[in-house]
Amino acid sequence: MIFRFVVNYLGFLKSIPFFGLIYDSLIKIWLCISNPQMLSWFDEIEEEVLNWDGTSISLHRFGGTQFNYQRKELGHLHSNGILDIRFSVQIKKALIADGIAREHHMFAKSGWVSLYIKNQTDVENALSLLSLAYSRRQKLQIISIDK
Amino acid sequence: MNPSNKKILGFIIPNLIILSIIGNNKMLNPSSGGVLVFSEFVILPMLMGIMSAWFWKDYKLTNKTLIWNSILNGFIAILLSYFFLGEGTICLIIVSPLIFAFVVTGAFIGKVMFKRRDQKMNISFVSLLLFIFIADSVSDHHYENMVSDEIVIKATPDKIWKNVVAFEKIKQPNQYWLFKLGMPSPMQTTVTANKLGAGRKCIFSNGYTFDEKIVAFEVNKNLTFDIVNQPQDPEIMGHIDIDKGQFILKDNGDGTTTLIGNSWYKLHVFPIWYYDIWAESITRNVHLRVMDHIKLLSEK
């Protein structure tokens, strides 16, 4: 709820350097006290994605961990447990129809989807979605090299 | 090097470096007059987190461990400030959210920086932070503010006036959480004479006294006083200067009076967006404790 309020009404603050990162750190500190299990799930996702060839992590400019393939974003995980991944609009529709992901918490009209991580099953779904984004990115890269 | 030694160095070295930077900054820049700039609470904790992350880069620290280690690092920094910089306990409670937030942020920045192993980028980023710190340290900092509060008292101005000029000891228990934690709260006010230019003393719960001089004395209307000497309490010393106080009485014509309390202060700690929230809150609660007491005495 607080995250939604900040995103909807205090969005202008994201133009302040480091604001997103600091806000995310505060959420992390809070999670450490209130729900440390969530941080373990984040570790699990991070560790698995970093095992895939060509992946790396960086800090997302609005806070959270960004997963990259060949330095291009696959998706990002905010510390409140929202994983955002960008697909094509067709794939997005299919994922939402299957109940795997939801509309993006901000950009409903785009190809972005969101997944709220609340339990171990969500961690597995998150990894499936990231794996799908990873495969797509790999294919796109192969096509661009062939051309 | 023994791996556990490197882990411990991640606590010791960053704290020692930051403490020496703050110490050197004070010595090399005496003209700052004890002003604590925003970089000391924002950039330096972030650098501390980055330095720690460098020492811990070879360990696969979980998010949880990294956060707890950073909180411990922040706690060590706060303890060092208590012992070596002479900061007061309440000040350190106030500053702690900033320190923890920025040390944790720095540790996560460091974690991704050292995973990338892009030396040029890392050196540029740390140099940029140091440049901001130096530029901020040598810049002029000046901030003044005024806090105003008002209450309605069921009494006429002539009944209230004598309680505004001076009042006996406040016996009500403190309601404000910082006063309950030990921050000195106003207790009593004495005056040398009921006239312009007279001396006034505002005595706080720990015995510290603000010496004041009455500069406006309009009976039943306006009492304004300059603070001519404030106590050398580590909680406020060098951080805030209270310049002036004022009580305005407005007759509402229905047997009630609106009492307005104003205070003017200069802040010497930055960033303002953080510290002024605290300064306003504390000033407001000083006002309300005094004004509620005046109300109680006047409505008897």
Write out chain A in H/E/C secondary structure: CHHHHHHHHCHHHHHCCCHHHHHHHHHHHHHHHHCHHHHHHHHHHHHHHHCCCCEEEEECCCCCEEEEECCEEEEEECCCCEEEEECCHHHHHHHHHCCCCEECCCCCCCCEEEEECCCHHHHHHHHHHHHHHHHHHHHHHHHHHHC
Tokens describing residue B91: 């000040």
Ranges of residues in chain A whose predicted pLDDT is under 70: 1-14, 145-147
Residues B293, B249 share a domain: yes
Task: Please indicate, yes or no, whether the overall pTM of this predicted structure exceeds 0.95.
Answer: no
Which of B46, B67, B115 is opposite residue A29, by nearest beta carbon?
Answer: B67
Total number of domains in chain A: 1
Phi/psi for B198 (5° steps) reads: -70, 160
The predicted pLDDT at position A2 comes to 64
Q: Which residues of B touch A25 (CB under 8 A)?
A: 101-102, 104-105, 108
Residue ranges making up the domain that contains B217? 144-298
Question: Which one-letter DSSP state was computed for residue B227?
Answer: E
Residues B45, B74: contact at Cβ < 8 Å? Answer: yes
Residues B160, B78 share a domain: no
Q: Which residues of B touch A59 (CB under 8 A)?
A: 108-109, 112
The predicted pLDDT at position B115 comes to 84
Residue ranges making up the domain that contains A99? 2-146
The predicted pLDDT at position A6 comes to 66
Cβ <8 Å between B64 and A36 = yes
The tens digit of pLDDT for each residue in B36-90 reads 788 888 999 999 999 999 999 998 899 999 999 999 999 999 999 888 887 888 8
Residue B2 CB partners (closer than 8 Å, separation 6+): none
Residues B286, B153 share a domain: yes
Residues B134, B148 share a domain: no
Tokens describing residue B220: 């039943």
The predicted pLDDT at position B236 comes to 65
Shortest Cα distance from B112 to chain A (angstroms)? 6
Share of chain B above pLDDT 90, in %: 64
Total number of domains in chain B: 2
Q: Token pair 């799930």 is at which residue? A: A41
Cβ <8 Å between B63 and A58 = no
Cβ <8 Å between A59 and B115 = no
Residues B47, B21 share a domain: yes
Cβ <8 Å between B105 and A43 = no
Which of B64, B105, B116 is opposite residue A21, by nearest beta carbon?
Answer: B105
With an 8 Å Cβ cutoff, is B64 touching chain A? Answer: yes
Of B91, B108, B138, the last residue of a domain is B138
Please state, in angstroms and rounded to a whole number, the distance separating the CA atoms of residues B114 and B60.
12
With an 8 Å Cβ cutoff, is B131 touching chain A? Answer: no
Residue B276 sits in a domain whose CATH number is 3.30.530.20
To test the contact with chain A by mutation, choose from B75, B108, B128 the residue with the greatest count of A C-beta atoms within 10 A, namely B108
* Nearest alpha carbon to residue A129 among A67, A59, A43: A67
Residue A128 sits in a domain whose CATH number is 3.90.1150
Ranges of residues in chain B whose predicted pLDDT is under 70: 1-3, 29-34, 234-237
With an 8 Å Cβ cutoff, is B67 touching chain A? Answer: yes
Residues B154, B131 share a domain: no
The predicted pLDDT at position A109 comes to 77
DSSP string, B7-47: HHHHHHHHHHHHHHHHHHHHHH-GGGTT-B-HHHHTHHHHH
Which of A25, A39, A59 is opposite residue B64, by nearest beta carbon?
Answer: A39
The predicted pLDDT at position B122 comes to 85
Residues B157, B285 share a domain: yes
With an 8 Å Cβ cutoff, is B63 touching chain A? Answer: yes
Q: Is B253 left (phi over 0), alpha (psi -120 to 50) or beta?
A: left
